[in-house]
Structure 1
Amino acid sequence: MQENQEIELKLRLTDDSLYETIVAGKLLPELNLAEEWQVLDFYTTYFDTQDYRFLQHGISLRLRQSGEKYVATVKSSGTVQGGLHIRDEYNVELAEAAFSVQVFAGLPIGAQLAKILEGESLLPLFSTVFRRYAMDVTMPDNSEINVAVDRGAIVCGEKSEPICEIELELKSGDVTSLLKLGDALSRRYPLILENQSKYGRGLLLSGAPACRKK
């Protein structure tokens, strides 16, 4: 894995009731994983300029809150195939809920963000609100994978879309192990490979111009 690269497999639950089943029981008994769920509540706001400059450059900007913790994130569009999302990601912890591209100034992507913004203002596009059950697992080949089971909603004004999905993020090791874990989960539970990110679904919900053309 390259530094600041996110490799993630997304799986959508076909039945919302499966969420409680998954988080209440053993995830995959046959793998004998050491399991301990961490429960987190997230509130996230996504930003862009009025003319969607960052969307045009394949970049997403967000501010995520969990309790008293705030994290600003920038991601590239990267590649997506068969539910596998590969993209660059930069995260910066903040002391308060005050988002701007200036928080990324010390990172390799900072100058590019400032150039795209060119003095324009950032506006909130939409939000996500969800509860996450998360755990870190070690696969037989010692690959480290973060398992996150999310349920909540994408919200834009009076409109909303449900979130009910599993994200498997490779923290270290071989992407083959990530795919094997996804395959094992799909054989145990009725899951569908998900090519749309929460950001992509939010853009569709908000009616972003570039999305209306697709």
Structure 2
Amino acid sequence: MAEIELKFQVPVHQRRAFEKAIAKKKAVPMQLWAKYYDSPEQQLAQHAIALRQRLEGQRWCQTLKAPGQHHFERFELELALGPDEPEQLDLSLYQEHKQAQTLLKQALELKKADLKNTGLELQFETDVQRLIVLEQIKDSAIELAFDQGEVRTPTAQSDIYEVEFELKHGDVSDLIDFVQPWVKRYQLWLDVRSKSQRGQMLKNQQDILPVQHQTPFSLDKHDSSSRALAKIVSNCLTHLLPNATAIADNHYQSGHVHQARVAIRRLRSALKIFGHWSEQVQPEWQAQLAELFRQLGSTRDRDALSESLMPRLAKAGSPLAELPASSESSDEIDALFRAPETVRLLLELLQFSQCTAHEDDQSLKKQVRKQLAKMHRQICQDAVQFEHLDSEQKHRTRKRVKRLRYSVEFIASLFEADAVKQYLKALKPAQESLGQFNDLVVAEALFQHEVQQNPQAWFVLGWIAAEQKHVLAEAQQHLLEFTRSKTFWSD
């Protein structure tokens, strides 16, 4: 009942070659016409649940899908309906399926024991010509499904052109190994949008995916350290991939870029702090993530400064109302997440998130305590000598504070919730003031280049210098206050 698949978009300039490759595989064609249902308030969509009736060749089936444990895994329950088109949606089919009942009742807020009179309505349809190729890789069966068609409402339609790789049975690593050559040859890029989500966006006249923020998750104290790290990486990918999809599709906002950077920073922190927990962590991942983060950086830095710094400068009477023009290359960042090397990295991380756990000599909590104590101690040492640190060392302190915060969030479920909350509350002022100082450093560099062409930039540089002095004093005070905070991981 779990569906494991990866979906990709095919670049326009690769489509002819891709179609020729599929034709050589002697693919089996199938016409798919599907009708998707939801409540008038779209309660199923709010829970990422899809409910459809679909004609597959000559037979109808009814399918319920919901989020699974991992981003590329979904709960799926498919029930055969026969050759005749159903007159209406029949939820009584789920009376014998407890998990399906639970999903529907929670999403639709049903109080009665039965699933009748739910008021579900047709939302949109999809009409797809699918070409299917079945491959046997080692002991795994993989289905390649190439879809062309459209999703439509009574007033709008959107084209579908995508390829899905589904693990019918076997090992996820075989699925990802099978996909990699296709990515390299045809420059396929990951797309986490389901047809249901695309249809919902079309119905709601939305062109852009919602910004994805980090989501809570739990570790089990009985998890091995390698399994815990795999769960952490999986959570970071759940944060990253929807934002990466929006950016790759070139339909994104500054929030997508910001959250993509946060997700990458969380990944880098997890691998740096806890990477020694697994022998399957590849040493090159850190450098690859750092480069991806760097390439996203200038765009996000400018967005952040425009939103936060420029209004303050205007209030202070600045003669300059805008940031200086960027001197960096204006490469479109959407290409970053379509690049084969980025897709390969994401697939490797997805594969790692499914890695087999090994047994530990020490408990997970004991290993976590050692790591947190070390990080806490480093920041306390920085705090007492902060005013004497040079610029690079202050920057290092800021990164240490962020890594500590992310690390605490990763392992919070292992400890008493209120104690963790109080610790993060004590850390937050230091993180915010150090972040403000970093913004001022970035702004200073921008306006130092501008002053040669525009003497009015001297006003801005003077204001920045005064503000830096104030924020640094504030940061030092917050760091010293943090050194007196109570830790939550002591025995």
> TM-score, normalising length from structure 2?
0.38
Matched, 1:197 2:194: yes
Read off the aligned partner of 1:20 and give its amino acid letter: E
1:115-134 alignment, distance < 5 Å: 116-117=107-108, 118=110, 119-134=117-132
Matched, 1:44 2:47: no
Alignment-derived partner of residue 151 in structure 2? 154
Give the paired residue count. Answer: 197
Deviations 1:117-173 (A, max 9, x none): 44331101111111000021101x221101111111111123111111110100111
Question: In the alignment, is the contact (CA less than 8 A) between 1:152 and 1:164 conserved in 2?
Answer: yes
In the TM superposition, residue 114 of structure 1 has moved relative to its aligned partner by 5.0
- The CA distance in 1 between the partners of 2:58 and 2:141, in whole Å, is 27
- The CA distance in 1 between the partners of 2:193 and 2:101, in whole Å, is 28
Structure 1 stretch displaced more, 16-25 or 188-197 = 16-25
In the TM superposition, residue 79 of structure 1 has moved relative to its aligned partner by 5.9
Read off the aligned partner of 1:124 and give its amino acid letter: L
- The CA distance in 1 between the partners of 2:90 and 2:17, in whole Å, is 38
Alignment-derived partner of residue 29 in structure 1? none
Alignment-derived partner of residue 59 in structure 1? 49
Alignment-derived partner of residue 21 in structure 1? 20
Matched, 1:97 2:81: no
Read off the aligned partner of 1:53 and give its amino acid letter: Q
Alignment-derived partner of residue 11 in structure 1? 8
- The CA distance in 1 between the partners of 2:32 and 2:143, in whole Å, is 16
Matched, 1:75 2:75: no
Question: In the alignment, is the contact (CA less than 8 A) between 1:92 and 1:104 conserved in 2?
Answer: no
- The CA distance in 2 between the partners of 1:148 and 1:60, in whole Å, is 19
Question: In the alignment, is the contact (CA less than 8 A) between 2:2 and 2:68 conserved in 1?
Answer: no
Task: Flag the structure with higher strand content.
Answer: 1
In the TM superposition, residue 178 of structure 1 has moved relative to its aligned partner by 0.9
Q: CA RMSD in A?
A: 2.2
Greater gyration radius: 2
**Identity percentage of aligned residues:** 26
Read off the aligned partner of 2:2 and give its amino acid letter: Q
1:136-155 alignment, distance < 5 Å: 136-139=134-137, 141-155=138-152
What are the ranges of 5 or more consecutive residues in structure 2 without an aligned counterpart? Answer: 111-116, 212-491
Question: Relative to structure 1, is the Cα distance of residues 8 and 213 closer, same or farther in structure 2, using a 3 angstrom cutoff?
Answer: closer
- The CA distance in 1 between the partners of 2:106 and 2:5, in whole Å, is 29
Read off the aligned partner of 1:63 and give its amino acid letter: Q
In the TM superposition, residue 115 of structure 1 has moved relative to its aligned partner by 6.1
- The CA distance in 2 between the partners of 1:189 and 1:120, in whole Å, is 45
Question: In the alignment, is the contact (CA less than 8 A) between 1:19 and 1:149 conserved in 2?
Answer: no
In the TM superposition, residue 212 of structure 1 has moved relative to its aligned partner by 8.2
User: Where do 4+ consecutive residues of structure 1 move more than 4 Å?
Assistant: 114-117, 211-214
Read off the aligned partner of 2:85 and give its amino acid letter: A
Question: In the alignment, is the contact (CA less than 8 A) between 1:102 and 1:114 conserved in 2?
Answer: no
What are the ranges of 5 or more consecutive residues in structure 1 without an aligned counterpart? Answer: 26-34
Question: Relative to structure 1, is the Cα distance of residues 7 and 24 closer, same or farther in structure 2, using a 3 angstrom cutoff?
Answer: same
1:170-181 alignment, distance < 5 Å: 170-181=167-178
Question: In the alignment, is the contact (CA less than 8 A) between 1:80 and 1:195 conserved in 2?
Answer: no
3-state DSSP class of the match of 1:109? helix
In the TM superposition, residue 183 of structure 1 has moved relative to its aligned partner by 1.1
